A and B are shown apart, each in its own frame.
Chain A
Amino acid sequence: MKPLHVILFAAVLGNAGDYDFDLDAIEVKPYTLSGYLKGENKLQRLNEDSPLFHTKNKESMKTYASEGDVKFAYFQDALKLDSEVMVNYNDVDGEYSDAYTIAQLFVQYKFDQNNLIEVGKKAPKWGKGYFVNPIAFFDRKKDPNDPDASREGYVMANYRYNKSYDGDVRNVSFDLIVMQSNDHMNSDFSQKKENNVGFKAYFLAYDTDIDLIYYHRSEQSDKIGLDFSKNLQTNIEVHGEFAKTLGADDYAYLVGLKYLTEFELSITSEYFYQKNQSSKSEPFYDHQYFMNKFSQKEPFDWLYGSLYYKNIYNLEDKSMQNSFGATYSFKNNMLLDISYNMNDGQIGSEYGSKLVQDTLWTKLYWYF
């Protein structure tokens, strides 16, 4: 034990400078700059039962991808310019491609503490679900393999009123979004000329987040939506979303929970149902899914490390995707994420038809 004490004492002496505080580090600048560089490598094995198997060149199986993401914001009085640019360079089976995307670029003007407007390209990211958001009417769909990833926005105008109160209703806010799509603007949303208007009312009432949404579409039926999120205890959160097309038998919903055990295992479970299938090219196209993520923080005293297991299960055709992974956050602003991903299911099922059967996926981020 004695040597350990000596080491600890030496460590304490070494910490003397820790009490110093560099006040230059807290200087307020009129701008912020941040982002990351990401390098990816995928080692993949093909699924011979996939209908796409015969189209694949089996001689080349290498996939490298790199991504740069830069967020820049500039502040002046009531004005803020906010932007996010993504640059991608990919090498899939020897075929190179690159892309440059303005993910977000908008101006915010604050009239006062309660009223603001944002105009430009932005992603509102509505909804409480982790894997999928049926009420995210003005957003691109999440990538189920990376639900936290940045997503490109659409060009819109967003007015917001926000007010706090004392009492059971602590906060109320209203969002009005106006967005037009045509073959020049927001063509990914719809190539037809459409006017879209969204109204969202948010309440923090009785310690519960509640959103109520009305979505008007000039060329299609209107939609309504709602969501909620609440902590039942310090370690249990429940949430849900519901979306419905008015005048049609078309609706979708999601219910989920997050649970944190005493030994820091985070469990995220969600059930998603949609009345009508969406396009098969989209994630979560089938009627119902059950998604789970188990994430163990700092296992075996492994500080800044975590282990995770993720399962996405198509309840209709009983096919699934499994991911086992580990992340480690280094002290030099780098993050390593290594995972083994496996698609499983009968021939013809969603995950059983994927061209890739399993993947060893390595991602390395450097943040700045």
Chain B
Amino acid sequence: MKKIILFLLTTLALFGAESILEQVDKKLSPSSADSYKKLINIEPDGSKKEFLLYQIKKGKDKIVSLFLQPDSEKGRSTLRLDENMWLYLPEVGKPIRITSMQSVVGGVFNNSDIMQLDFSAEYDIKSETDEGAIIVLDLKAKNETVAYDKLLMDVDKKTVTPTKIACYTSTGMLIKTLYYEEMKDFGGGIVRPAVIETDSPLYKGYKSIMVYGKITERNVSDELFTIENIGKVQEFRK
């Protein structure tokens, strides 16, 4: 009997915790939205390279990105449909399958950081720890196709948004840490951190920053998220 009660309590706790992760997802972005963000790679000597991206996301498993700057990357698009990911280069003129661990921009961010889907779509909560102002979520990837096997996510209780996420491999190696900063009201009820900074023990001295400029709730057709339209994302910009 004790075991059954313990099981029920654990299940209840887990269901409760899962809803926290879903709340985090909802806080970070409406279910369907388009956004503009810039990525900045900063090298140890302080030199920088900036990228400007346009993204459209729909539901839990669809996202497409278009590079607007720099000129050397202009017109590049990446499409993610669940764990399928494709890259479109204007000069090649057709989509090619890529992997989530690759990086299309170089630096600390890889494709899965830039093409982040809902956390609750990719991770289950193993445990949650109440540490006063924050809740620490121990997240385990739902399957092997997810880029990071384990995340430790610090969630601010007040804003229900992450403040820090540490990303680990299945062997327990820390790949990178993401820091969520600068809470901003984007309008339409979207209040979330506008800046994500990251560093990595694999890229000592390097740092990458992601800055959100605009997030707007928007519904588009499912057909945008197909390889037939990966080279036509520009036509969907508003």
Contacts and interface: CB of A to CB of B under 8 A. Distances in A.
B97 A229 contact: yes
Contact of A234 (B43, B101, B194, B209): B101
A39 to B, nearest CB: 16
A19 B97 contact: no
Interface string A2-21: 00000110110011001111
Contacts of A75: 234-235
Interface stretch (B5-13, B15-23, B25-33, B66-74): B66-74
Interface residues of B, number: 70
Nearest to B82: A207
Contact of A148 (B36, B91, B99, B237): B91
A175 to B, nearest CB: 9
Nearest to A146: B91
A11 B226 contact: no
Contacts of A304: 49, 106
Contacts of B214: 21, 23, 26
Contacts of B89: 148
Contact of B228 (A28, A32, A162, A229): A162
A68 B227 CA distance: 28
Given A19-B182, A258-B97, A234 B222 contact: no
Contacts of A311: none
B92 A207 contact: no
B70 A333 contact: yes
A204 B81 contact: yes
A25 interface: yes
What DSSP secondary structure best describes chain B's contact surface? loop
Given A21-B211, A170-B81, A11 B71 contact: no
Given A207-B84, A233-B144, A148 B38 contact: no
B93 A150 contact: yes
B229 interface: yes
Nearest to A8: B205
A368 interface: yes
Interface of A: 7-8, 10-11, 14-15, 18-23, 25-26, 28, 32, 34, 69, 71, 73, 75, 80, 113-114, 123, 125, 128, 130, 148-150, 160, 162-164, 170-171, 173, 202, 204, 207, 209, 229-231, 233-237, 239, 258, 260, 264, 266, 297-298, 301, 303-304, 329, 331, 333-335, 365, 367-368
17 contacts: A8-B44, A14-B46, A21-B211, A25-B52, A26-B36, A34-B74, A130-B96, A160-B228, A162-B228, A231-B83, A233-B144, A233-B145, A234-B99, A234-B146, A297-B103, A303-B206, A365-B72
